[in-house]
Protein backbone atom coordinates (compact mmCIF):
# COMPACT_ATOMS: atom_id res chain seq x y z
CA UNK A 1 0.00 0.00 0.00
CA UNK A 2 2.92 2.33 0.69
CA UNK A 3 4.09 2.10 -2.92
CA UNK A 4 0.60 3.00 -4.15
CA UNK A 5 0.41 6.07 -1.92
CA UNK A 6 3.89 7.24 -2.91
CA UNK A 7 3.07 6.71 -6.59
CA UNK A 8 -0.25 8.54 -6.26
CA UNK A 9 1.12 11.61 -4.49
CA UNK A 10 4.25 11.80 -6.65
CA UNK A 11 2.12 11.66 -9.80
CA UNK A 12 -0.33 14.25 -8.45
CA UNK A 13 2.56 16.55 -7.56
CA UNK A 14 4.27 16.30 -10.97
CA UNK A 15 1.04 16.56 -12.97
CA UNK A 16 -0.06 19.55 -10.87
CA UNK A 17 3.30 21.25 -11.38
CA UNK A 18 3.23 20.59 -15.13
CA UNK A 19 -0.37 21.81 -15.32
CA UNK A 20 0.52 25.05 -13.53
CA UNK A 21 3.56 25.61 -15.74
CA UNK A 22 1.70 25.02 -19.01
CA UNK A 23 -1.19 27.30 -17.96
CA UNK A 24 1.20 30.11 -17.04
CA UNK A 25 3.12 29.59 -20.29
CA UNK A 26 -0.12 29.76 -22.29
CA UNK A 27 -1.27 32.95 -20.55
CA UNK A 28 2.12 34.60 -21.01
CA UNK A 29 2.73 33.56 -24.62
CA UNK A 30 -0.68 33.18 -26.23
CA UNK A 31 -2.42 36.32 -24.95
CA UNK A 32 -1.20 38.30 -27.96
CA UNK A 33 -2.39 35.80 -30.55
CA UNK A 34 -1.57 32.36 -31.94
CA UNK A 35 2.01 31.12 -31.81
CA UNK A 36 2.72 29.63 -35.21
CA UNK A 37 6.37 28.79 -34.49
CA UNK A 38 5.41 25.80 -32.33
CA UNK A 39 6.69 22.65 -34.07
CA UNK A 40 7.53 24.69 -37.16
CA UNK A 41 3.97 25.97 -37.49
CA UNK A 42 2.60 22.43 -37.78
CA UNK A 43 0.49 22.86 -34.60
CA UNK A 44 -0.93 26.39 -34.27
CA UNK A 45 -1.83 27.27 -30.68
CA UNK A 46 -4.57 29.72 -29.68
CA UNK A 47 -5.55 30.78 -26.17
CA UNK A 48 -9.17 29.87 -25.40
CA UNK A 49 -11.19 29.62 -22.20
CA UNK A 50 -13.84 26.92 -21.87
CA UNK A 51 -16.91 28.30 -20.10
CA UNK A 52 -19.02 25.18 -20.63
CA UNK A 53 -18.66 21.51 -19.90
CA UNK A 54 -16.44 19.12 -21.81
CA UNK A 55 -15.56 20.53 -25.25
CA UNK A 56 -17.69 23.61 -24.54
CA UNK A 57 -21.00 21.74 -24.36
CA UNK A 58 -23.55 23.91 -22.57
CA UNK A 59 -25.55 22.17 -19.84
CA UNK A 60 -27.24 25.23 -18.47
CA UNK A 61 -26.04 28.27 -16.61
CA UNK A 62 -24.52 26.39 -13.67
CA UNK A 63 -23.20 22.99 -14.74
CA UNK A 64 -21.10 22.46 -11.60
CA UNK A 65 -24.13 20.97 -9.80
CA UNK A 66 -23.92 18.12 -12.27
CA UNK A 67 -20.14 17.76 -12.52
CA UNK A 68 -19.11 18.07 -8.86
CA UNK A 69 -21.07 14.97 -7.75
CA UNK A 70 -19.96 13.06 -10.88
CA UNK A 71 -16.34 13.95 -10.15
CA UNK A 72 -16.65 12.83 -6.53
CA UNK A 73 -18.14 9.49 -7.61
CA UNK A 74 -15.41 9.05 -10.25
CA UNK A 75 -12.67 9.83 -7.71
CA UNK A 76 -14.21 7.36 -5.27
CA UNK A 77 -14.25 4.63 -7.92
CA UNK A 78 -10.65 5.35 -8.92
CA UNK A 79 -9.49 5.23 -5.30
CA UNK A 80 -11.35 1.93 -4.87
CA UNK A 81 -9.66 0.50 -7.98
CA UNK A 82 -6.32 1.75 -6.69
CA UNK A 83 -6.85 0.09 -3.30
CA UNK A 84 -7.89 -3.24 -4.86
CA UNK A 85 -5.04 -3.37 -7.37
CA UNK A 86 -2.12 -5.67 -6.68
CA UNK A 87 1.10 -4.14 -5.37
CA UNK A 88 2.95 -5.33 -8.50
CA UNK A 89 0.37 -3.91 -10.93
CA UNK A 90 2.42 -0.81 -11.68
CA UNK A 91 0.61 0.09 -14.88
CA UNK A 92 -2.82 0.17 -13.21
CA UNK A 93 -1.45 2.11 -10.23
CA UNK A 94 0.17 4.66 -12.55
CA UNK A 95 -2.94 4.93 -14.76
CA UNK A 96 -5.24 5.53 -11.77
CA UNK A 97 -2.76 8.02 -10.35
CA UNK A 98 -2.66 9.96 -13.62
CA UNK A 99 -6.46 10.10 -13.91
CA UNK A 100 -6.83 11.19 -10.28
CA UNK A 101 -4.13 13.84 -10.79
CA UNK A 102 -5.78 15.21 -13.94
CA UNK A 103 -9.19 15.19 -12.24
CA UNK A 104 -7.73 17.12 -9.34
CA UNK A 105 -6.10 19.82 -11.49
CA UNK A 106 -9.08 20.65 -13.70
Residues paired with residue 45 on neighbouring β-strands, in sequence order: 35
pLDDT in tens, 58-72: 676 776 777 788 889
pLDDT in tens, 10-20: 988 998 899 88
Confidence grade of residue 29 (pLDDT, cut at 50, 70, 90): confident
Q: Is the pTM of this model over 0.85?
A: no
**CA nearest to 105, candidates 1, 8, 29, 12:** 12
The conformational region for residue 46 under phi > 0 = left, psi -120 to 50 = alpha, else beta, is: beta
Amino acid sequence: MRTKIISLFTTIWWVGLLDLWTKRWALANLSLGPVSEFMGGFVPLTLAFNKGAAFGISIGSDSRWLFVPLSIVALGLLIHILQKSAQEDYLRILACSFVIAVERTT
